[in-house]
Structures are given as C-alpha cells and as structure tokens.
Amino acid sequence: MTDVFPRREYAWYVVGILALANTSAFIDRQILGLLVGPVRRDLGISDTQMGILYGLAFALFYTLLGIPIARAADRGSRRTIIAIGIALWSVMTVLCGVAQTYDQLLLARLGVGVGEAALAAPAVSLLSDYFPAERRATALSVYSLGIYLGAGLANLVGGALLARLGADATVVWPVVGEIRSWQGAFVVVGLPGLVIAALLATVREPQRRETGTSDDTRGHSIGDIVRYLDANRRTFAYHNLGYIFAKQAKYGESASNYDLAIEIYRAIGNKENLAVVYRNLGLGRHNESKYAEAITYFESALKLRIELQDTPNQALLILDIGDSLRASKNLQAALTKYTQSLTLYRAAKDRKGEALRCVRC
C-alpha cells in the first residue's frame, strides 16, 4: 500500500474529464424526453412503446451490466473501460439520430444503456485512488455535478435546436443524408462524447490504494463480496431502498419538467424555446386524444410565433390546431384552419408546407 497520490492539479484535471463524461452521459440519456412528441409522431409509436424507449430499454442493460463491469474494473484498466463505454454510448446516441423505425431506435437505446453502465463504478474507483480520504468527497461531488448539468443541458440544447430548425424541419447531414430535426438533436449531443472518449487517453491509471499497483490481478472473490454484503446487509438494504425511493420520486417528477422549462424560458424571455415547449405539450395532448388541451397549447405557441413574426411556424401551428379540430370531428373548423395555414405557407413561399397542408386536406 502507498500513500503517494498524483499531483493535485492533475488529479483535478481528471475530475474535470470525468465530470464532462458524466455530463455527456446524462445529456444522451435525457434528450429523448424532450423529443417525445416528434418521435412518437414520425415513428407512429404508442405511449407504451415510448415508455419502453425512455425507461426499460435504457435501464435494463444499464442495471444488469453494472455489476460485471464493476467487477472488470476491479481487475483491469478503469480508464480503458470508461473510454470504451463513452465511445459506445456516444455512437449509439448518434445511431438514435439515424433510426428510421421503432426497432432501430430501441436497439440504439439499449446500446446507450450498455455504454453508460461502464462509467459510474470505474469512475468512483478511479477518483478514490487520485484523492486522499479528506478530499475525496469534494472530488466526487464535482464529478456528480455532471448529472445535473447533463439533465439541464439536454433540455437547453434540444430545445434550442428544435427552436432554430422547427420540430418538423429536415436537415441534410454528410453521409447520413436528410433527417428530421429531432434526429439531428441526437447526432448533435452524441458526437461530443467521442471527443471526451479520446481525452481519456490523457488520464493515467493510478496505483490502487489497496495493492500499490496500477491493476489488481488478484481482486476479491465472489465469496468475499457475498460475505461482506451479508455482514453489512442492513446498511445496504436501507441505503438501496432509500436510493430506489429517491429515484422513483425524481423520475416521477419528470412530467413537471415542462412546467419548469416554461418558468425558466418565461423568466429569461426566450420566446422561441417557450413556443417549442408549448407545441411539444400540444403534440403530447393530441396523441393522448386530449384535443381541447392540445389546441390550448398550440394557440399559446402560435401567439408567441406571431410576436416573433415567424410565418412558417405560424402556419405549422395553425395546421396542428386543424389536426386537433379534425380529430375531434369539428371538420368545418379544421378546414378553415387548413385554409389559413395554406395562405401563410404560400406567403412564406414554403412549398413543402403547402404540400403538407394539401395532403391533410
């Protein structure tokens, strides 16, 4: 065993790299929550399928692979495991952006879960060997900031991209070709992770505090682990139950994320992102067959687009209102909205919008 720790400046550099990785992980994990409306519409999937994409598809492998990956980190290079994990979840996030079917998106989300399972345990182990006990909590708290930065940036980046391009817009990417703006959001948040994975090459594998070597070929047997858990079973039981309930409460509040986003965008005067939030809420209500609520949200977004003098998106929102009116069997009012939408699309010289309006009529 050795008491020699890496230089403080370099140790904090490693914390910064791992915090960036944690931020990237939570952006890639959470970005789907902002894209529920357009994803569900374009892929024609149900609420149940959307729930599987957002929850089970990610959590299944993230949970099941966490223990064997942590076991591998006990014996091998933690830096290498983390780098491979970052590269994998980043590539899989990009693949979410080129998915054309529900099955393709499901497989990509499974891959994101596999990749992200490689971060937490190896990162905590690595930081434990970079810092003495009296500074370890501070280092781990900085690393954990990535959770909240990532969750916030997922909404900001996704919202900004949809606001700039429009939720129904298409963009052309090299090699990939033409994709929807929601698909572009996956590509934009996924690519930086590859840079972070490359930065792991600058992180040295420190000596392990238990052995004084950079890797532990001996490790602990499964029997050792089981005996340790049994000896501390009450502690682990209470800790894990508390963590389960805390996470259940946290993710149970996800429905209020839109309310929080509305308050934030109102406070900073960001009308474009606020309009995107209102439209996404409207699309969600429409898909739930709550057409009156959908129209209310669409009208709120339309008011903002009028203030912004954004004619194409005004036409799009009027089209959305027409869809909700038609779905609620108010066909005459729907036709009126479609006609208004067509007039605006023509004024904006938007031929794709004209074609879309004509198809819906």
Specify the CATH number for the domain of residue 116: 1.20.1250.20
Q: What is the DSSP string of 23-43?
A: HHHHHHHHHHHHTHHHHHHHH
Domain-ending residue, one of 214, 247, 267: 214
In-domain check, residue 133: yes
Q: What integer pLDDT is reported at residue 211 of this predicted model?
A: 54
Per-residue pLDDT of the chain (361 residues; tens, 9 = 90+): 446 788 899 999 999 999 999 999 999 988 887 787 788 778 888 777 877 888 888 888 888 888 899 889 888 899 999 999 999 999 999 999 989 899 999 999 999 999 999 999 999 999 999 999 889 999 999 999 888 888 778 777 777 776 665 555 666 767 667 778 788 889 889 999 999 999 999 999 998 876 544 454 455 677 888 888 889 888 888 888 877 776 665 555 554 566 666 766 777 777 887 888 888 888 878 877 888 888 999 999 999 999 988 888 888 899 889 989 988 888 888 889 888 888 887 776 655 544 444 545 5
Q: Looking at the domain assignment, is residue 225 inside a domain?
A: no
Same domain, 49 and 171: yes
What pLDDT does 94 receive? 94
C-alpha closest to that of 285 among 1, 13, 41: 41
CA distance 275 to 164: 11
* 57 and 176 both lie in a single domain: yes
- What is the SS3 assignment for 171? strand
Residue 336 located in a structural domain: yes
168, 25: one domain: yes
Same domain? 311 vs 208: no
Amino acid in position 303: K
CA distance 283 to 50: 14
Structural domain contains residue 94: yes
Amino acid making up residue 211 = T
Residue 223 lies in a domain: no
Among candidate residues 345, 282, 267, 283, the one with its CA nearest the CA of residue 312: 345
Same domain, 76 and 210: yes
Here the tokens at position 38 are: 């357009």
Q: Which residues of 18-39 are buried (b: 16+ CB within 10 A; e: fewer)?
A: bbbbbbbbbbbbbbbbbbbbbb
Q: Choose the final residue of a domain: 214, 247, 277.
A: 214
Please indicate, yes or no, whether residues 271 and 183 belong to a single structural domain of this protein: no
Tell me the backbone φ, ψ of residue 173, rounded to 5 degrees.
Answer: -110, 145
Give the three-class secondary structure for 86: helix
Question: Domain holding 261: CATH number?
Answer: 1.25.40.10
Structural domain of 32: 8-214
Structural domains of the chain, count: 2
Last residue of a domain, one of 190, 214, 238: 214
